[in-house]
Homo-oligomer: A and B are copies of this chain.
Amino acid sequence: MPLVNIKLIPDGITAQQKAKVIAGVTKVMEKVLKKNPAQTIVIIEEVPAENWGAGGEQVTAIRQKAAK
C-alpha cells in the first residue's frame, strides 16, 4: 500500500496527463514491488513557480533570466 506524493510546478498539466502519471506510477509499484494496485494512492500537488526555489532562487526568476 504505497502512498506516492508528487509535487510539481503545473506548467499547463492537463487532467489527462495527471491520469497517465497516476496510472504509470501505480504500475511501477506493481511491477517492481508486487504491490496490489488497488491499494496504491497517488497524490499530485501543484506548486506555483513563485513558491519553488532551486539554487537559492525562485523558479520564476530562473525562468526570466533564461528567457533573456
Interface size on A, residues (CB 8 A): 51
Mark A residues whose CB is within 8 Å of B. Answer: 1-9, 13, 15, 17-29, 31-33, 35, 37-47, 50-61
Give the oligomeric copy count: 6
**Cβ–Cβ contact B42 & A45, under 8 A:** no
CA distance A28 to B46 in the complex (A): 17
List chain B residues, Cβ under 8 A from A3.
3, 6-8, 41, 43
Residue of B nearest to A30 (CB): B56
B43 with A32: CB separation less than 8 A: no
CB neighbours of A33 from chain B (8 A): 8, 13, 17, 21
* Shortest Cβ distance from residue A6 to the other chain B in the assembled complex, whole angstroms: 5
